[in-house]
Structure 1
Amino acid sequence: MPLPDQQLAGMLSARDAIEGRLEQLLASPTGVPPNLSAALRHALLAPSKRIRPLLVYHVVEPQDAQIAGALDLGCAVEMVHTASLILDDLPCMDDAVMRRQRPTTHMAFGQATAILAAIALLSQAFGILAALAGVDDATKTRLAAELSAAVGWTGLVAGQELDVNERASIVAVDGIERLNWLKTGVLFVAAARMGAMLRGLPDEEVEAVGLFASHLGLAFQTADDLLDSNATADEAGKDVGKDGNKTTLVTLFGEQAALLSYREHLDKAEAALLQTRVNAPPLMAMIARLFERRETPTP
């Protein structure tokens, strides 16, 4: 379904602002070794939908005084996400050769520099949180705790460990959804909840925004599994066919069942969003654009 022109323009404007701020943040340090600097730019500025920083931005709905903080918070989340992709692609993990329509960072710059780039991005993300202008210390602490939990041993790191070393033992829907939650959902939720915290929403609305993002993240991961099954590498912008021997909703139940599952999660996401005062149309427009190419499984 085509997006209304006004919604599309607003989304593109926010995305352009995020891209510009990422460029600024990478340009500001001095003394970065050239090869590391090139690797950081290669990974962070590669073509991307910028879903997570857009989640932050649209939940905050920033007025003039909050725009800088919303952009920086979104960029911090994007740095964490990019770092996770660099590590996920390494030969000891998924051994991928293509990401975001270009060679993976370790293929372009070597494994050592790729690992260092991931560490640099993770570190810089928390530095950005510490320096958020116009944000009180208590809120900065909440934001840092939220992002730390999403990254750590009960978040992305746990998901990657399960994916690498325990995937074969996952044979049921609840196990697949837990893995999808850890690999994808936790950072979606952190992005949305952090946006709600920066905006100053009460705790019950922070929880509702988190529930919205949880269902969105689960839908996204299932749709990504569908892409792995039926898209080409050019269409997906990354390696495909990597999940053929892994247990996913697609391999377990087939493409039609996976399609129904992610649509159900999208319905639940919208219902949760409508329980908050967050303006729903920009987020629903982003979701429509995000999933428009993921709607038709192969016969």
Structure 2
Amino acid sequence: MVTETLRFNGIKRELLGDPSETEIDDLRRELEERIRYFLPDGGVPSDPLTEAMRAAALSTGKRMRPLLLMLVARDLGCSSPALLDAACAVELVHAASLILDDMPCMDDAKLRRGKPTVHIQFGENVAILASVALLSRAFHILSQTQDISPLIRTRLVCALAETVGAQGLVRGQFEDLHGGHKRSVDDIATTNELKTGVLLGLSVEMAGIIAQADERVLQSLRSFAMAAGHAFQIKDDLLDVPGNDCAQTGKDVGKDAGKATITATLGMEKTQRRLAAHLRDADDYLTDAIGSKQRTRLLVGNLFRKAGPVVDLHAP
């Protein structure tokens, strides 16, 4: 069953037709235009490297991480032009990571966002180079971001470097590949934090840094991102269950078969309860950071509208 509403922050709200949807749509369009600006086609139709970069970064996606960055900042009262560029940098890093995740030596995926994966379209060698180029472009964008002080710019670059490296996304993918099939729930959760939570954490931390939030707010945002990251990873695990339709998920299903996942370890019912608990925690931490403001909540609610069976945040 696909849910059309989500109890988030203890209030059952209809998510379609909310006036804030227009704001999210406008931000998504601004983001798409800015990414195209940073990744011009160059006017050379036979340049597969550029085409691969654009295919990875401009394919239809949720844009969850960059939108989260911009909406959290707005909920914190900040509308700096630097937010859009920081959001683009985060999305390019995400796109680069997906290229590598899909490679035959990693998850060996054939479908991403409803289209053939980058290595299927352009070859493995081009895909690897496109991923490196996207990472490089992300750091360049941050280093040139205007409307912020050099100190804030340096903090953003450092945060990005820490997130991508051996203690972040790279470590998460390594543990996912080499962690074995019989890991504890805690071990799986740690891998999920590195695979999903750290990039969400980067998004909200960048929002807080640009908004010049204090350390208490930053810590609440980090905790929100970790809880939301666990929830998103569980959602992906649920969507990966064999029998789901690739046309609806936009990517291959059954790729986690044989892997240690929360769903495989706990079963569907306990996994659903765990998902609801993470969402409750996420909302509590979000309240600590932004109070009752709704922009970020609306985005999170929309993203979980198709998480599978109805998620009741009041479930035990």
Report the TM-score range of the alignment, normalised by the length of the smaller protein: over 0.9
Secondary structure of the 1:94 match is coil
Decide whether aligned partners of structure 1 residues 151 and 278 sit closer, same or farther in structure 2, where only a CA change above 3 A counts: farther
Question: After superposition, what is the alpha-carbon deviation per residue over 1:52-107, rounded to whole angstroms, capped at 9, x for unaligned?
Answer: 00111012119999443111100100000110000010011111100111000000
Structure 1: 5+ residue stretches without partners: none
Give the letter aligned to residue 224 of structure 2.
Answer: F
Residue 79 (1) aligns with residue 92 (2): yes
Decide whether aligned partners of structure 1 residues 210 and 49 sit closer, same or farther in structure 2, where only a CA change above 3 A counts: same
Residue 10 (1) aligns with residue 20 (2): no
Give the letter aligned to residue 211 of structure 2.
Answer: R
Question: After superposition, what is the alpha-carbon deviation per residue over 1:105-143, rounded to whole angstroms, capped at 9, x for unaligned?
Answer: 000000011001000000010101100101111111111
Structure 2: 5+ residue stretches without partners: 6-13, 311-316
Give the letter aligned to residue 201 of structure 1.
Answer: A
Give the letter aligned to residue 47 of structure 1.
Answer: T
1:145 equivalent in structure 2: 158
Decide whether aligned partners of structure 1 residues 205 and 139 sit closer, same or farther in structure 2, where only a CA change above 3 A counts: same
Give the letter aligned to residue 187 of structure 1.
Answer: L
Residue 223 (1) aligns with residue 235 (2): yes
Residue 188 (1) aligns with residue 200 (2): yes
Residue 204 (1) aligns with residue 216 (2): yes
Contact 2:75–2:290, Cα closer than 8 Å, also in 1: no
Spell out structure 1 runs of 4+ moving beyond 6 A. 28-33, 62-65
Secondary structure of the 1:221 match is helix
Number of equivalenced pairs = 296
| Per-residue deviation, 1:23 | 1.4
Which of 102, 105, 110 is the equivalent residue of 1:97?
A: 110
1:118 equivalent in structure 2: 131
In 2, distance between residues paired with 1:194 and 1:65? Answer: 12
Q: TM-score, normalised by structure 1?
A: 0.94
1:232 equivalent in structure 2: 245
1:257 equivalent in structure 2: 270
Percent identity between the two aligned chains: 36
| Per-residue deviation, 1:8 | 1.3
Of stretches 186-195 and 274-283 in structure 1, the one that deviates more from structure 2 is: 274-283
Residue 293 (1) aligns with residue 306 (2): yes
In 1, distance between residues paired with 2:169 and 2:98? Answer: 11
2:55 equivalent in structure 1: 42
In 2, distance between residues paired with 1:167 and 1:13? Answer: 43
Give the letter aligned to residue 203 of structure 1.
Answer: E
Of stretches 210-219 and 59-68 in structure 1, the one that deviates more from structure 2 is: 59-68
| Per-residue deviation, 1:231 | 2.2
Q: CA RMSD in A?
A: 2.1
Give the letter aligned to residue 298 of structure 2.
Answer: A
| Per-residue deviation, 1:38 | 0.9
Secondary structure of the 2:289 match is coil
Question: After superposition, what is the alpha-carbon deviation per residue over 1:254-290, rounded to whole angstroms, capped at 9, x for unaligned?
Answer: 1121111111111111100111236631111111110
In 2, distance between residues paired with 1:103 and 1:134? Answer: 38
Contact 2:111–2:117, Cα closer than 8 Å, also in 1: yes
